[in-house]
Homo-oligomer: A and B are copies of this chain.
Amino acid sequence: MLFLDQTYLFTPGPTPIPNRVNAAMARPMIGHRSPDFSALLEDVATRLKPVFGTKHPVYTLTSSGTSALEAAVVNTVAEGEHAVVVVAGSFGDRLATIAENYGVAVHRLNIEWGKSCSPEELEDFLKGLSGTPIKAVFATFNETSTGVLNPVRALGEVVKRLTDALFIVDGVSCVGAVPVDLEKDHIDLLVTSSQKALMLPPGLAFVAFSDEGLRAIEGCKGKRFYLDLNRYIKSYETQKSTPFTPAVSLIAGAQEVCTMIEEEGWDNVIKRHTLLRDMTRAGVQALGLPLLTADADASPTVTSVKPDTLPAPDIQKALKSDFSITIAGGQKKLKGKIFRIGHMGYCTPFDVLKVLSALELTLVTFGQEPKLGAAVKKAEEVWIKHV
């Protein structure tokens, strides 16, 4: 009642859509075999390069994040070939499951949920597999289910030092919010989807390649059709088009997102997400709520809170019913134990203050000693250093 028609979305994807992106998506539909569409696609493929840290065009698939993971698998490893998958949460598990589904010999490097994979752990694991022809090592850049950012550059260095494998990274919940450089990070294939840091609705997946990544998928024997990346590359190279009908309106939205990122400045986008992370963590801790992850592992896009003495799902429900705020709960192993606050994409420091205020108020309704203003104060103390 207090919020008119307003609702506040703080899930780690989907994330809020800027009005100007909605306006771009509502422009008159155009044919996907028209010169207008080719110009649009090329513009997006080119302007996304810095965001993906690649010198090659960024390819667009019409599908969501899981299909981006599946594309990463079926274009690089075939039935019977060996792959290592870092599993540090629900989405690492999904990567491994997809590969297993296609008959890949998967070696899971299991990491405690809530912790990052250290380069030392990966090194030990790969040494233990010495002699096994590893075709690819898969890692989750930002494990959405725990709020952990893995040290991909250090992991990539280990992969390339110890093996001839491809290094393939699921960037779903952080590309668009973190610095990445495929060459320096030793990443051969980086995939993500539209509905996270990129300020778009769900429905697009993006794929970026290193030189070696491009070469590798050409020869892959994995069976695929809609997700055959060679078809996307060929269609782009020959016609600046897509092999199958693309989600035209979402791609028009992506063009507007490119403009927004350029206006803000890509470096500033990255700094903003770091600030949002630090503000959220400082505020949550000011309320005496434990964080799931260590500072060194903390994600710039999603923060997991593990309240010891209060039921996480009830806090999630109260934020929704009392304040029209949607956050996320835990998944699988962490179901019922944590809640997650997304702070990525179209999210400002004021938005973080909003969710912290709501948390302060909610804890009072849960019978806790009032700490009204305490989280906001701590978050503002972080913010003031950047004003």
Question: Contacts A26-B22, A66-B225 known; A247 to B326 CB distance under 8 Å?
Answer: no
A50 is an interface residue with CB less than 8 A from chain B: no
Question: Contacts A193-B245, A226-B66, A245-B195 known; A202 to B326 CB distance under 8 Å?
Answer: no
Is the CB–CB distance between B201 and A247 below 8 Å? yes
Q: Which of A10-18, A108-116, A262-270, A274-282 contacts B (4 or more CB under 8 A)?
A: A10-18
Contact of A245 among B14, B32, B101 (CB under 8 A): B14
How far, in angstroms, from A70 to B67 measured CA to CA in the complex?
Answer: 13
A309 is an interface residue with CB less than 8 A from chain B: no
A292 is an interface residue with CB less than 8 A from chain B: no
Task: Give the number of times this chain occurs in the complex, counting copies.
Answer: 2
Contact of A29 among B14, B32, B66 (CB under 8 A): B14
Contact of A9 among B13, B28, B243 (CB under 8 A): B28
Interface size class of A (residues with CB under 8 A): 35 or more
Is the CB–CB distance between B32 and A203 below 8 Å? no
Per-position contact with B for A229-268: 1 when CB-CB < 8 Å, else 0?
A: 0000000000000011111111000000000000000000
What B residues does A62 contact at CB under 8 A? 62-64, 67, 202-203
What B residues does A101 contact at CB under 8 A? 223-225
Q: How far is the CB of A246 from chain B (nearest CB, A)?
A: 6
Additional pairs, 9, CB under 8 Å, beyond known A101-B224, A202-B247: A7-B30, A14-B30, A33-B328, A62-B67, A63-B226, A195-B245, A202-B249, A203-B250, A223-B223
